Amino acid sequence: MKLIAGVDIGNSTTEVCIGKKEPEGRIRFLSSAMVQTTGTKGTVENVHGIKTALKKAMSKLQMDPSELSYIGLNEAAPVIGDTAMETLTETIITDSSMIGHNPSTPAGMGQAVGTIITLGESSPLDPRTDYIVAASSEYPYEAVAQVVNQLAEEYSIVGIILQADEAVLVENRLKKKIPIIDEVAGIHKLPQGVLAAIEVAPPGETVQMLSNPYGIATLLKLTAAETKMITPIAKSLMGKRSAVVLKTPGGNVKEQLLPAGTLYFKGEQSLEISVDEGAQRIMETLKHAGEIQEIRGQENTNIGIMFSNIRKGMEGEEEIRISDLLAVDTLAPVKITGALAGETCLEKAVGIAAMVKTKQLPMERIADQLRQELKVPVQVAGVEALVASLGSLTTPGVTVPLAILDMGGGSTDAALITEEGNITITHQAGAGELVSLLIQTELGLKDRKVAEQLKKYPLAKVESLFHMRMENGQIRFVEESIDPKFFGRVVMLTKEGMIRLEEDIPMEKIVKIRREAKQKVFLTNALRALEKVAPEGKIKNISNVVLVGGSALDFEIPQLLMEELANYGIVCGRGNIRSVEGPRNAVATGLVILLNQKLEKDSGVW
Ligand code: ADP
Ligand code: MG
């Protein structure tokens, strides 16, 4: 039996396709498989993944990879995508403290300003001063209530801060109702004698005064300069149900530790731009620079460090250069020094995906190794974009002239094939990985895997054991009761069942951030890539676009692109390689087709 395997080694995924040559010369496709790429694309470490993928595909035919007649490897483009995130400023607030959190059961409501007195530390009190009592968990609720009731007979007690989760128990025993914040773990960090403002929001609402810089200024009587300094505190308290802000002497300082830095574009024109100017200006400048030879970042700045980290991750550092980048504006959480419970505030940041050009990837070395291990002839055949186009043409309803958009993990690649078979290609930095990174940072997730899942799956909120509210507002009822562990939680809906989101983030917020991340990366890049390959550089000269690659599997990206490209009169849709693979396997399939053509040319009917 004459069997050909096509192997596509991508940044993220290694895909294979197995085709059988029929006696009349036709290729019949029998099987396919994919695994995660092992090692950096284009290195001998890839061999391990290739063999696993081939084994998987051949075992579906009850065969072994050694029974293959030929293996074709893609001539992987010598570009590798990488992503990084850099905040533009680092916020340091000294001599100022705050607590903001969402205790499950605060008590009382409203705001109060007073001087902190700590239970157990005696100090002379003044009948003309307002006080806020801070009590550690050493004091049971009866004791706290008793002391406060007693003090209130002579002095003005306007609020209470508790370490224990006992606000309601204390409140029930108070003669006069005042706001109480509880579950403040770091209560011993509250300095006695310092002026503090506390706020407890009514049920279902969030703090209004302390999440507003002018609100804090009103309560703590701040100057204009001081108000500017506490803005990060106000920002970080948005959305909280209760909060404490302390005024500590010495004033606040906000400093920028490391400058964001300048980007240098060496192209048809040499241009530079400060990263501070934001993504839009960076991308405009990049475009004006024309065909890019190299992009550099100013040394000893955030951008410089980020670029050198990208280079460090690659083999043969000296020979690589950054040839394209995609910058997107985002918000990243920055730790506030002075926050008593590790609170963060969101600061402007720039997310960057970079495209690194290496010297020609040593695909022949991979081919040698495979030949030795499997004893099967191996050929490196065909430029990636060309074979991707051949594969995409197996999508029903597709014909030349045609543009394909290959949306992978690290890069978005485009190719345009004319009726005459001429092909133009481009590689743009930024794809699925950058989307996951943006989701991770903007939601402040510790784990990239969770961001990756949030990208892929639609959400729902389990509102009772028999129904959930889908992210589009629909209510779905279920026949059998939902496992109680999902009750009240945001869940991801996968084919294998629900995944519970451990973080407490409102569903609407996740949906908004997820959509925006996809738009920022893929809308920008689709237009950039298509403009590069379009006849006369005009997108409207393209008539059809087929979307392929892992990110084309996304449940909302293809629709985003279809809507956008409809504005240019373009027919656009997700590929369906060989009518069965969806947007996957285009390159591997194209390789089988190309290798067969080559073999026929070289040796007649092989
Ligand atoms: P490469 O060709 O560079 O190896 P792929 O074509 O395999 O890349 O695409 C990898 C990207 O596709 C990753 O960013 C991954 O998160 C994304 N991806 C894979 N499956 C899905 C899916 N079901 N929905 C959205 N994105 C997906
Ligand atoms: Mg790919």
Tens digit of pLDDT for each residue in 354-411?
A: 888 877 677 899 999 999 999 999 999 887 778 999 999 999 999 889 999 999 998 8
Average pLDDT, the chain: 88
Give pLDDT, residue 92.
46
Q: Is the CB of 585 under 6 A from ligand 1?
A: no
**Which one of the ligands is nearest to 551 CA?**
1
| Domain carrying residue 367 | 1-76+362-382+588-606
> CB within 8 A of 290, min separation 6: which ones?
267, 268, 269
Q: For residue 569, report the phi and psi dihedrals to the nearest 5 degrees.
A: 70, 30
Give pLDDT, residue 188.
78
Cβ–Cβ under 8 Å, residues 167 and 182: yes
Q: Is the pLDDT of residue 97 over 50?
A: yes
Give pLDDT, residue 254.
44
In the structure encoding, which two tokens stand for residue 416, read together?
């345009």
What's the CATH number where 282 sits?
3.90.470.30
Give pLDDT, residue 94.
45
The model carries a pTM of: 0.79
Atom of ligand 1 at shortest distance to CA of 410?
A: 3
Q: Is the pLDDT of residue 596 over 80?
A: yes
Q: Is the CB of 452 under 6 A from ligand 1?
A: yes
208 lies in the same domain as 304:
no
Q: Is the CB of 553 under 6 A from ligand 1?
A: yes
Q: Is the CB of 49 under 6 A from ligand 1?
A: no
Q: Is the pLDDT of residue 210 over 70?
A: yes
Q: Is the pLDDT of residue 320 over 50?
A: yes
Instruction: Report d(CA 462, CA 452) in Å as an integer.
Output: 21
**Which one of the ligands is nearest to 554 CA?**
1
299 lies in the same domain as 350:
yes
Q: Is the pLDDT of residue 124 over 50?
A: yes
Give pLDDT, residue 482.
93
345 lies in the same domain as 467:
no
Give pLDDT, residue 404.
96
- Quickly tell me which residue has 């035919």 as its tokens: 61
| Residue 124 maps to a domain | yes
- Is residue 255 packed enough to be buried (19+ CB in 10 Å), middle (13-18) or exposed (0-12)? exposed
Please give the distance, rounded to the nearest whole angstrom, from the Cα atom of residue 365 to the centre of ligand 2. Answer: 20
What's the CATH number where 371 sits?
3.30.420.40
What is each CA distance from 318 to 298, 300, 462, 523, in whole angstroms? 17, 19, 53, 33
Give pLDDT, residue 436.
95
Atom of ligand 1 at shortest distance to CA of 8?
A: 2
Q: Is the CB of 581 under 6 A from ligand 1?
A: no
Please give the distance, rounded to the nearest whole angstrom, from the Cα atom of residue 12 to the centre of ligand 2. Answer: 8
Q: Is the pLDDT of residue 317 over 70?
A: no
Above pLDDT 90, what percent of the chain? 63
Q: Is the pLDDT of residue 255 over 50?
A: no
Amino acid at 447: D
Q: Is the CB of 433 under 6 A from ligand 1?
A: yes
Atom of ligand 1 at shortest distance to CA of 452?
A: 16
Instruction: Report d(CA 241, CA 243) in Å as an integer.
Output: 7
156 lies in the same domain as 187:
yes
Q: Is the CB of 74 under 6 A from ligand 1?
A: no
Query: pLDDT digit string (tens) for 268-315?
Result: 999 999 988 889 999 999 999 999 999 999 988 888 888 887 777 666
Give pLDDT, residue 93.
46
Domain boundary among 324, 357, 390: 357
| Residue 149 maps to a domain | yes
28 lies in the same domain as 155:
no
Instruction: Report d(CA 409, CA 429) in Å as an integer.
Output: 10
Domain count, the chain: 4
Neighbours of ion ligand 2 (CB under 5 A): 10, 408
200 lies in the same domain as 136:
yes
Give pLDDT, residue 91.
45
Rounded-to-10 torsion of CA 126, 132, 134, 135: 90
169 lies in the same domain as 24:
no
Segment 555-582 mean pLDDT: 95
Note the helical H segments in 65-140: none
275 lies in the same domain as 346:
yes
Atom of ligand 1 at shortest distance to CA of 37?
A: 4
Q: For residue 124, report the phi and psi dihedrals to the nearest 5 degrees.
A: -65, 135
114 lies in the same domain as 239:
yes
Segment 333-345 mean pLDDT: 64
| Residue 22 maps to a domain | yes
Instruction: Report d(CA 183, CA 572) in Å as an integer.
Output: 54
